[in-house]
Amino acid sequence: MKKRHEQKLIILSIGLVIAFSIPISLLFNSEKDTFGYPMILIYIFAVWMVSIIISFIIVKKYDE
């Protein structure tokens, strides 16, 4: 894998650390429910799913 593709994965990791930090996560801690689930759970699993998809695309597309 080339250096620039490794850098993309590092940037993704830094973004996830920021997205899962306590102050950002608590922005979604509200009384509002979506499909019967609290917003914080929807946020955590949505960010997690998007990060898996992005990392899969990076690895699959640029695996050399």
Tens digit of pLDDT for each residue in 37-57?
A: 999 999 999 999 999 999 999
Q: Locate tokens 């102050």: which residue? A: 23
| 40 neighbors 28 (Cβ within 8 angstroms) | yes
The pLDDT assigned to 63 comes to: 66
Nearest CA-CA partner of 44 in 64, 16, 4, 63 = 16
Q: How confident is the model at residue 1 (pLDDT cuts 50, 70, 90)?
A: low
Kindly report the pTM of this predicted structure: 0.80
Mean pLDDT computed over every residue of the chain:
89
Provide the CA 62 distance to its chain's centre, in angstroms: 20
Nearest CA-CA partner of 43 in 33, 28, 55 = 28
The pLDDT assigned to 33 comes to: 85
- Neighbour-count burial of 27, counting CB atoms closer than 10 A to its CB (0-12 exposed, 13-18 middle, 19+ buried): exposed
